[in-house]
Amino acid sequence: MRNKKIAILAVQETHMDEQCREAVENIFGRRLHIVASTDSENPSQRAGIALVLNKSFVNVSTETTKVIHEGRAILTSINWGAEKTLTVLAVYAPNLLEENVEFWKKIREFFELHPRTRKPDIMLGDFNMVEDTIDRNPSHNDSLQQTQELADLKSSLRLQDGWRQTYPDKRSFTFMQPILNGGAKSRIDRIYVTSQLLKKSSEWHTNHSGLANTDHLLVSAQITNAEAPVQGDGRWCLPERVVEDKAFRGKAKELIKAAWEQMTNARATPWTDQSNAQAIYAELKFNILDRARCQDKIMTPKILRDIGTLRKDLQQIDGSQDPSEVMTARLIADKIADLEKKRHNKIRELGRVKNRLEGEMNSRYWMQINKELKPRDMIFSLKNPNIAEAAAETVSKKMAEVARKYHNELQ
């Protein structure tokens, strides 16, 4: 969740009772907050669902949760800034046909019986069924009862499949059976959103999580608060790994030495727009940044480049019904999964080493791991109180200008 910057993660088939949940939160409680529901009859062996909230992005103090179906469906609401609330319905639908049909019916009836309960803005999880033949390979229809009950629930909650709306004709799958069991593929893991959120969503992806012992891919989307101000890309800064790289530092020293010689020569000549210390220094900074960007690309781990190449290859043939391409797609997907697992394990190993070396030292790392995490306090709009008719600004640059004028008038 830290590396992928995931704010809210839905986890299914957790088999996690309350004691286990507390144990996990005791370890990761500084960064994560977990809300969960277990199967009432067999909590450690069957079903189980959880929502994991990242404290770096979510104000967990405002979290409220209702259990709709024990171990199968939970409804969580959080404060989303600008006095807005975001409500998420996490589901883990039963696999059996009759239970699956009854599951969607039970959720719909819950909201009918509790009209004051806020309906979800997002519904996500493992649905254990698909709505269209395009979402199965080999293609076939699911039970009409299942699709109709889910359609009724979607209609009552006014939700739609965000990925399918974004890619109407594309085929991609989140679950793959082992080849020995037939090798069938399906898109049973999905995210549904309201029409308002769909307009503010992007980056709909299906990727391997990097975790071992999972046969489902991670479905993700980036959803923006409509009230949030317009923000830029921020300032690019030199990555720490580039600053510590010997090759980059050697090149930077050469650039600095050359700039110093230019400044020395400029002192002996009349001042011009091009030949002066300020212009030479400005050019030096741009040259160092350009060199740093090039070095950063060179230092990008080979494993990331390989994963990117394999994903492009997979996109070209994923969804094909040709037997040879189906097998090729499976081999590519398995290779991506292996690389993602290696990358994830490497990151964890480096984290353990860093904690072993600096975890008990008076260092920047030690201060960071002991600092309370909380989301940034974002200013959603700004208005000059001295101007009665002034409208509130929501664009960052204009907000900064309003603040500048206001403070200048105070002096």
Q: Mark the binding-site residues, compressed into ranges.
A: 13, 126, 128, 215-216
Q: Tokens 């949030």 identify what position?
A: 228
Reduce the DSSP state of residue 66 to 3 states and report it.
Answer: strand
259/255 Cα distance (integer angstroms): 6
Give the residue numbers of the binding site for Mg(2+).
13, 126, 128, 215-216
Helix axes 277-299, 246-267, angle to 10 degrees: 170
Q: Catalytic pick from 15, 205, 216, 344? A: 216
Q: Tokens 């469906």 identify what position?
A: 73
- Residue 138: is the preceding peptide bond cis (ω within 30°)? yes
Residues 6 or more apart whose Cβ sits within 8 Å of residue 138? 184, 321
Q: Catalytic pick from 92, 135, 192, 318? A: 92
Reduce the DSSP state of residue 300 to 3 states and report it.
Answer: coil
> 126 catalytic, yes or no?
yes
204/215 Cα distance (integer angstroms): 20
Q: Are 164 and 200 a contacting pair, CB within 8 Å? A: no
C-alpha distance from residue 109 to each of 149, 155, 202, 219, 339 (Å):
11, 13, 31, 27, 44
> 216 catalytic, yes or no?
yes
Q: Catalytic pick from 121, 126, 161, 189? A: 126
* Largest CA-CA distance found in the chain, in angstroms, rounded: 89
Residues with active-site annotation: 92, 126, 216
